[in-house]
Every structure is written in C-alpha cells, then in structure tokens.
Chains A and B, each alone.
Chain A
Amino acid sequence: MNLTVYLGLLHKSEQTLADSFRQVAQGHGDEPDIHFLCQTLARQCDAHQQKLKPVIERYGEDTADAEPERLHAEGLAQTRSGPVGLLRDLQDLYLLASLVDITWTMIKQAGQALRDQELLDVVGQCDGQTAIQLKWLQTRMKQAAPQALLAAR
C-alpha cells in the first residue's frame, strides 16, 4: 500500500513546517505578531504530528526513497531581514504550508476510500488548522506587500 509514502511525506512536511515557523519566529522578533503567532502555529504542527502517530503505527510510514522528492521543500535554514525579506520568509512558509495542506487532502481521500474513521477523525482535527495557517499567512502578506514593495527603504 502506497499510503505509507504519503504518511511519511505528511509527517516530514509537518515537521519541516514546525521548524520553519520557529525559525521565522526567532528571526523576526521585531514583528511581535509574527514572532508569537509563528510559535503558536509551530505548536499546532507538533500536535498534528502527535495525532498522526497512531495512524502511522497502524500503516507504517515510508521514509525511504520509494517516491523520491523532485521538488525539494527543505524548510528555512535561516531568515532574511528587512521588509522584503520578511515577505519572502512568509511566502516560503506559505509554500511549505501549501504542501502540508494538499498532503492532508490526499490522506483524507485515501482515508475515505479505506473507510478508516480513525484516520478521518485525525484529518478532521488537523486540516482545518492548516487551512487557517495558510489564510493567516495570506492575510499577513497581503497587508505587508504594498509597504515592502513600494515604500520600504
């Protein structure tokens, strides 16, 4: 069953997203909303991984290169500075969160076909939060973009 490939992908991308939220929180301490919220959202990603555990225990996860990554989403190793740097960092988070979001969707599809209520419950507890993470990133970027792109020194 290839679901294990996607469980591995989801687990890893939630982990990457958590790390990247923490990286941005740390690198943009002068933007308090970003600093604090990214920490909160990182904790959400941690919790998602916890919730996935029983599912992974049942199905296993394939972290070997059964389906090697072609598009690398390795997370933010470091943050940028300045208004445009902030925008780029948030945009990187957006890409990472999008990967998580669509992966949850695929897992949900599989869960429905498997008639696995436990798996669907886990999805139900997590995918809404991921969707809101994306919405928040979009909300924040849309506010910041004109100033960063037109007025910032």
Chain B
Amino acid sequence: MVDRISDIWGTRTPYGRGGLWPVRVDQKLADGVREEDVDRWVQSACVLCSNGCACDIAVKDGAMVGIRGRAGDLVNHGRLGPKGLFASWQGVSHKDRLTRPLMRENGRLVECDWETAMGRIVEKSKNLLEDRGPLSHGFYTSGQLFLEEYYALAVIGKAGIGTPHMDGNTRLCTATAAAAMKESFGADGQPGAYEDIDSCDAIFLYGHNMAETQTVLWSRVLDRIAGPDRPKVVCVDPRETEVARHADVHLAVRPGTNLALMNGLVREVLRNGWLEEEYIREHTLGLENLRSVVEPWTPEAVAEVCGVDAGDVREAARIFGTADHVLSTVLQGFYQSSQATASSCQVNNLHLLRGMLGRPGCGILQMNGQPTAQNNRECGADGDLPGFRNWENQEHVKELARLWNVDPLVIPHWAPPTHAMQIFRYAEQGSIEFLWISATNPAVSMPQLPRIREILAKPELFVVVQDLYLTETATLADVVLPAAAWGEKTGTFTNVNRTVHISDKAVDPPGEARSDLDIFLDYSYRMGFRTLDGGPLLTWDGPEDAFEAWKKCSKDRPCDYTGISYARLRGGSGIPWPCNDENPDGTVRLYGDGVFPTDPDFCESYGHDLLTGATVGPESFRAMAPSGRAIFKTAEYSPPHEEPDENYPFRYTTGRTAYHFHTRTKTARSRPLQAAAPKAWVELSAEDAQSLGISEGDLIRVTSRRGRLEVPARVGDIRPGTVFAPFHYGYWDTGGSPGSHPTAANELTITEWDPVSKQPVFKNAAVRVERIAAGTGPAPAPTTTASRPAVATVPPTRGGEEAEVEERLEDEAPPRFPEAINTAAGGDWQ
C-alpha cells in the first residue's frame, strides 16, 4: 500500500527510450470493502483532470465503493492520480448533493418539483424570445459534461434558439490550445500523443506544471527520467515546481513575458541553422515574417525582459535544436498569460522549423485543463461551430443546416460565437437577460470576482444553474437544477490526445437529480423547437442516439468519429480520433504526412492577426494559397498591460495544486484531499518575505486594483517579486461569502483576455503585499508540491491510513496500439 497523498505519483516503474510504459494498476476501495465484496465493475474514465485515465468503478449494493485504473488502456496503463483515487466517486457520493430543483421565491431559494422549475424556465425563455429575440439568451457551460450533452446544447442554442452567445469555462482553460492549433495548422486537433513521452529525448514544458495538473502523465515522464536514457527536461515556469526540480534548464520567467522568451528561442534555432530546410519548404509558409519578428530577441534581450539567464536561453535552444525527438507540452502558464495565442503558436513554430511532428517522440501537446474540454470544442457548445466547422465558410454553415434540417439563417454566423467574457459583459449591460450556466462555477473561477458576483445577482438577469452542489454560483441563481454526476449517467468524452472513452452509468443519481442530457432534451421538447418539416428538433431518447447523431456531424471533418461506437468503446482501450474507414482503429498522431488542414474549403479558421485578433478573412487566406501547408504565425512582443508600480509593486499569478480541482466542489468533499490542502494560502519568496517582515504562516493581505485576499503566507521557492495564489478557494464551505478575509484568488485578477483565443489573463496582475497578523502555525499549503516551504520546520503533508492505495505492479504486457483497441470488424469485446 502506498500513501498517495504524500507520494502523489506513486511507485516508479522505470523504462528506457522506445520501450513500453509498464503497467501499474492503482486501486482504492471504500473502508471495509474488499475486492471480493464488489458486485460489479463499471467502465469509465476519470473526470478530475484532462488526462483521461481509463478506470472501472466498483459498485456494491447500488452504491459506488471504489475505483481501479484500467491496465489495458493506452492512456494510463492502469494508473490513477490522487484526485481520481480520492475524489471520483467520493466527490459525488456526498450528503450535500442537490436532490430536488430549487426556485427563487421572495429572494430565497426553495425546493420545488421539476414541472414547476422547468415551467418557470420555459415561460421566461419563451417570453424573452418573443419580446427581445434570441440575442437575449446566453449559455455558459463547462469542460466537464459529456460529448452527448454538449452536442445537444449546441443544437438547441444554434438551431433551436439561434443565439451566438454560447461558451464554456473551456474559454478559461483551453481556448488558447484550440486557437493556437487553428492559427498554425488550420484546425483544432492535437498533433501529438502521450506515447511521444516513450520515445522523446527532450521534453519541453511551457507553463505546464504537469506534475500537479496531470499527475499520471507526469508519472510517465518520471518513469522515463528514472530509466536508463532519460530525456532532457526544460521547464518554463516562475515557480520552483516539481517539473522545475527535474529540469536540466529551468527558465523562471517573469509572468507576462512568455512571448519574449519564445521569440528568443526561435531566433536561436534559426540563427544556428537547426532547421529542416526541406520540411520548411514543402510544408510551411511565412518563414520570412517569423524571422523578422524574432530578430531583435537576442538571448541578452530575452534575459533583460524575462529576468532569466541568457546562457540558459542558449542552452534551452540548443537542446531543442539538437535533440532528435522533442516533445513539447503547453498549459496555463502560457494560456492564461499575456499574448497567449502568439506564445503558444511559437511552440508550434519551433516544431515546424525542425519538422518535428507526427513521428514517435516528436509531438506537441497543447494541453486541455478539463476532462471533456475537447468535446466542447468539437461539439460547438463553446465558441466554435460543431465538427470544427468554420463560421466564415457559408458551405460549412449550410452543411449544419442540412444536418439539422433548419434554415441556415437561423444559425448565427455573422461573427464567431460570443466568448465568455463578452457574454458576461452583455449580461452586465442588460442585453442578455437569460443566462443558463451548466456544470461550472463562475462566481469563483472568473476574473475580478466582485464584478462577476454583481452581474449574477442582478435582478433583471434570469440565471439558471445546473450543477451537483449548491455552489457559490448556484446561490445567486433564479432556478437551480440538480444534475446527475459522473457514474450516474452514460456518455463519452475525449482527452488531450484525442482519445475517446465511454463512461457508463454505475448507479442511480440521488433523489430527483437528472442527467444534463435529459435536462437539455426536456427543455428542447418543452420549448417546441422544430425542424423545417415541423418535426421536433431533437428526437433522441438517450445518450447513444446523441452519439450516433454526433457521428454524422463529425463525418469527413478532422474529428471524425464515424468508426467509433459505444460497443467498440466497451471492453478495450479508448480510441483516438479520427477513426473512420481510412483509420479504422483510430489515429495516434496527426500530420505525419506534413499535410495540414489549411485547405480554405476545409479549414476551421482563416486565422487572425495575433496582436489584435483581426480576422484574416476568406479572400486573404485564399490568396496565401496555404494548400495543406502549416503557417508560421507570430506577433511582436508587447509588455503585459498591468505591470508592477509604486503602489502595486509585486507581480501576481494564480494557479493550481495537485490536490484540488477547480473550485473544489468535488475534491474538498474528499477527506484525504481536503486534509492535504484545507485552506487558501499565498506563496512568496523568502527574499520578499524577509523584506516585508513576513514569516511562514503569517496572515497577509494581498491587494490589487480590484480586490483583496487575506490568507496565510507560504514562504517558498517562487521567483522574487512574484506572488502566487491557488484559485480553488471560494466560499461555499466558509459561510458562503468573502466575509472579512477573502480567499478566492480571482478577487484580484484583471478583466482582460487574449485578442485571439479570448482566454482571460489570470496569470498577470500587479499587487501589493502586507502583513496583518502573526500566524498560529504554518500556512495550510502542501509541502509535497510547488508550494513546498523554504523552511524545514513545516510538518510534511501526509495522507495516513485513509490515503493508502493498492498499487499492483504486474508482469502483464503493456497495451499497445492498435492491438489494445477493439477491432471494427467485431470480435472479442463485450
């Protein structure tokens, strides 16, 4: 048994380059439940990060009682991370679950039945559509529903109501991943695969604290590091993360300066001629522009702006330029910072310069933050059209109209779908009067919370919240709908590297809770949305109908699901799309042939100017004649808009810890996870702490132009001049409101977003820090992660008995592609 709170990544299973990652099956059963007591195991995959670890749920007497990794799955080879082990079923099997709808009466939320709740929603919705039209409606969904649910919502919004105001919290987590791939390659679609870890000889992690955000993926890296021919590791992160500790080069940049660094790395690669000339000639365009933009960025210029060592910049570039197989991964340190899309495109550019795409070990993982973010992007319940279609392409819109049998004019396509921050702005101004929020908690996760709370509380705004628990957002709603959770409904979802898993229903939802799909279908039925023939718009009876409908929508698009079925997903490994006649077992890597989806008739986007977000438009895009070539996109570096000054002398950045997910609605209901990171803290460097007279655990106040935090200080290893706060800590478990000591990191963040991806800038603001009281002990921050204390006197984070997990190291042959996938022709799966 292994304490997986103190040992986040579990037991090492080293392997060498080109080998197969050994199997290790992780299992956690409820107290007192033995394996032989389990009635049945139900197939699923974990929804507590974007990694997509396949698992089986243990069921006993109609309740979920355990979880086990699936040994035969290509994603995780049996492993699970602490969040999956301790908060999957534990995070949803809790007495706090909503079991009946709630409705606001005389200012208070009171229980009611579904008929009454849906009746009120539909009445409001119909009246507004009649009086104010479809632009009065907004939908803000999640990265945590299932594919079938997003697709239902997309059809309702785009073909039923016809509103452009649809987005998800995927805007906060993954919009830049999608945007960067659209700009560089013409469409969304992850080029690389997790398998690239097995054969790379260098791995670059850009703003990606993989050790805490995708713990199982990091285990795979750790096993390579522990193996005979470890890959070089380069880390870009202002904090001394676990990744940084294993890095050969750690570039601890000043928050907000990523693009300057990237320009410098590209320049070094260009100047040293570490280029694949033929690849560049055959498969790319725009090199001259790239060359001129990066030219001023000498390593010394980078050092000056980013606050890193010029020698380290040279060394990082040398590793990139001379390794044979490089894997790059990118996440929030880039996505949620200044010039997000431009910085992330530079990662793509580095790979294009070296022709390092689509081969084992040569990959890009533009990561996602959430388990099902990919499906929201595919299905178009966010700022996209379904099937990676292009809103500027009339033919694409007509295809959707034919598929749904509606008038193409109903589908809004005069502009891209409205992004989340703009939806909230319209709600603030009163032109959106109906806002339906599903499976997300903007009252904690959006920037500048004092403003977001005010918007949600506006009496003129009718807010529907559909969730598992009474979140901070739900308390501000007009109607609250109790939703079924993971394990209580069936559906599919897709992880970072395009792998589709099924999650089967294991148990019934509590009380009257219903699946999100059922709720959306019920709304559609009650609203009477019709096709051109007068029939109902949505005729699906359940998730498999929705999946089959989605397959038709995805046909011949980059995310082609036509070769996948529920039957194929059961029993075997998850299947990476595209999966169709051409690729019957799915596809591990994209772009091995150097052909990119930039054909103007096929592409998802004609692209943007990366500095302003101006659209390139169809004519200019065609004139570039991309014909399947990738595009070197870039922008001039522009300093962050809020920089430290006399009044606010520190740089403020926000992030995550390994033990919590999002706003802790699930993870704080798990005892081991909550005990590991029970309360909010702020990290600052020993140097800054000393000059401010702050000791470990002291209560400090951090103030920005927008709000304040009052939490204990963790004196740690962050770069001097920068302070960090985890974004997980809202108020649902501490009285419901900020009170006198606010803890939510987003009280301080700025309302600003990337011009292309529209992802908010959570990782750059200016703050001041002051000590307000002595602490009663060390800060409640884990010692096992990037929040590790500078002083040795803080007791180490331990899980104890209830955090003990069984890890089975078996001789079983690791799964490999395509053998691990159920064959299309029928065969040995269930």
Contacts and interface: CB of A to CB of B under 8 A. Distances in A.
A and B part of one assembly: yes
Interface of A: 30-33, 36-37, 39-41, 82-83, 132-133, 135-136, 138-139, 142-143, 146-147, 150-153
Interface string B618-649: 00000000000000000000100100000000
Contacts of A39: 641
A151 B614 contact: no
A75 to B, nearest CB: 20
A147 B431 contact: yes
A36 B418 CA distance: 19
Interface stretch (B128-136, B587-595, B695-703): B128-136
12 contacts: A39-B641, A83-B431, A132-B609, A136-B609, A136-B613, A138-B614, A143-B418, A146-B414, A146-B415, A151-B133, A151-B135, A152-B430
B431 A40 contact: no
Contacts of B750: 32
B830 to A, nearest CB: 49
A40 B638 contact: yes
A139 B135 contact: no
B136 A142 contact: no
A152 B638 contact: no
B132 A151 contact: yes
A143 B416 contact: yes
B86 interface: no
B767 to A, nearest CB: 18
Given A41-B612, A136-B609, A33 B755 contact: yes
B106 interface: no
B136 A151 contact: yes
B615 A139 contact: yes
Contacts, number: 71
Nearest to B617: A135
Given A33-B752, A138-B614, A143-B416, 10 more contacts: A36-B641, A37-B612, A39-B641, A82-B429, A132-B611, A139-B614, A142-B414, A147-B135, A153-B430, A153-B431
A35 B752 CA distance: 10
A142 B136 CA distance: 18
Interface string B407-434: 0000000111010011001100111100
A146 B755 contact: no
Chain B at the A interface: SS class: loop
Nearest to A43: B638
Nearest to A135: B614
A147 B422 CA distance: 11
Interface in B517-534: none
Given A133-B612, A153-B429, A33 B415 contact: no
Given A32-B751, A146-B414, A136 B614 contact: yes
A32 B750 CA distance: 9
A143 B615 CA distance: 11
B753 interface: yes
Contacts of B430: 152-153
A17 B425 CA distance: 27
Contacts of B641: 36, 39
A82 B612 CA distance: 23
Nearest to A138: B614
Contacts of A146: 135, 164, 414-415
A142 B612 contact: no
Question: Which of B133, B135, B164, B614 has the most chain A CB atoms inside 10 A of its CB?
Answer: B614
Nearest to B460: A153
Interface in B791-822: none
B612 A136 contact: yes
A65 B612 CA distance: 36
Contacts of B612: 37, 40-41, 132-133, 135-136, 139
Which of under 10, 10 to 19, 20 to 34, or 35 or more describes the interface residues of B? 20 to 34
Given A139-B615, A142-B415, A153-B429, A33 B609 contact: no
B623 to A, nearest CB: 13
Contacts of B755: 33, 37
Contacts of A36: 641, 752
Contacts of A151: 132-133, 135-136, 426, 431-432
A33 B759 CA distance: 12
Contacts of A142: 414-415
A142 B416 CA distance: 10
A51 to B, nearest CB: 15
A11 to B, nearest CB: 23
Nearest to A148: B431
Given A36-B752, A136-B609, A146-B135, A83 B429 contact: yes
A86 to B, nearest CB: 10
A40 B611 contact: yes
Contacts of A153: 429-431
A138 B638 CA distance: 22
Nearest to A142: B415
10 nearest A-B residue pairs (beta carbon): A135-B614, A136-B614, A151-B135, A136-B612, A151-B431, A143-B415, A153-B430, A32-B752, A152-B431, A139-B615
B82 to A, nearest CB: 37
A31 B425 contact: yes
A23 B615 CA distance: 24
Question: Which of B135, B136, B612, B613 has the most chain A CB atoms inside 10 A of its CB?
Answer: B612
A142 to B, nearest CB: 5
A29 to B, nearest CB: 10
Nearest to A131: B614
Contacts of B615: 135, 139
B77 to A, nearest CB: 44
Nearest to A39: B641
A94 to B, nearest CB: 12
A2 B612 CA distance: 35
A142 B614 CA distance: 11
A104 to B, nearest CB: 17
Contacts of B133: 150-151
Interface in B420-460: 421-422, 425-426, 429-432
Interface in B697-713: none
A31 B418 CA distance: 14
A40 B751 CA distance: 17
B514 to A, nearest CB: 31
A83 B415 CA distance: 17
Contacts of A147: 135, 426, 431
Contacts of A31: 425
Contacts of A135: 609, 612, 614-615, 617
A40 B636 CA distance: 11
A152 B425 CA distance: 12
Nearest to B451: A30
B787 to A, nearest CB: 30
Nearest to B620: A135
Given A32-B753, A146-B414, A150-B133, A132 B429 contact: no
A36 B638 CA distance: 11
A86 B430 CA distance: 15
Contacts of B426: 147, 151
A132 B615 CA distance: 9
Contacts of B135: 146-147, 150-151
A139 B414 contact: no
A139 B135 CA distance: 19
Interface in B131-174: 132-133, 135-136, 164
A139 B132 contact: no
Contacts of A37: 612-613, 755
A31 B415 CA distance: 18
Contacts of B132: 151
A17 to B, nearest CB: 15
A147 B133 CA distance: 11
A107 B474 CA distance: 60
Contacts of B415: 142-143, 146
Nearest to B751: A32
B613 A152 contact: no
A43 to B, nearest CB: 9
A33 B753 contact: yes
